[in-house]
Amino acid sequence: MADEALVVIDLQNDFCPGGALAVAGGDEIVPLVNDLIRHADHVVLTQDWHPAGHSSFASSHPGSQPFTMIDMPYGQQTLWPDHCIQGSLGSDFHSGLAWTKAELVIRKGFRPAIDSYSAFFENDRTTPTGLAGYLRERGIDTLTLVGLATDFCVAFSALDAISQGFKTTVRLDACRGIDLNGSLETMLHRMRDAGVALEDHVLD
């Protein structure tokens, strides 16, 4: 139907094996995502897109290690290895991703002082990316989310999609997670409780 869109989250080299913030099996989802793209009416991609020295990088906080937490003016923030630096090979979409059909690429995380997991809002939870307005103006009210990582950018995007009034499905078989301190379990529960439809066609 014409009111549905597939949103492919951060299927970039740095989140795939060999990348700077590799998600286990991140590249395995590419064939299935391509299949979903082929069948979708509308396709939107997100691209994690950080300037060098971004505040979410552990390297920007002397003495801090990746995968630890830090207090930012907008709340707690996980620190990451340097990744998805604007224009780097790591920031490119996976070379096997059939992205040409995408009608929109939303870049996020480009403000030096704020990280952005969600496709809709930065991590201050108030700065919008413009995606909700774009989708509404296009008459799209139903979303399927796939990509990386299940428990960070996919989950935050799905929770915001629900709060913005979109009927939202996450295809878990077309996602892979980071799973930091139980984050996968936590975020699966949060999504289910919020009304996100969690589908896993591997289990069908």
Here's the x/- map for Zn ion, 29-58, by CB under 5 A: it reads as -------------------x----------
Cβ of residue 152: shortest distance to ligand VGL, in angstroms?
3
Q: Which residues are catalytic?
A: 10, 108, 153
Residue 80 or 166: which CB sits closer to Zn ion? 80
Task: Enter the tokens of residue 74.
Answer: 């907008």
CB of 113 to ligand VGL, least distance (A): 15
Cα 111 to Cα 117: distance, rounded to the nearest angstrom: 12
> H or E segment at 197?
strand 197-199
Q: How far is the CB of 51 from Zn ion (least distance, A)?
A: 11
Q: Is 122 in the site for ligand VGL (CB under 6 A)?
A: no
Alpha-carbon span 30 to 62, nearest angstrom: 36
Angle at 179 between CA 173 and CA 180, to 5 degrees: 165
**Residue 14 is a binding residue for Zn ion (CB under 5 A):** no
Phi, psi of 178 (to 5 degrees): -90, -45
What are the residues binding Zn ion (CB under 5 A)? 48, 109
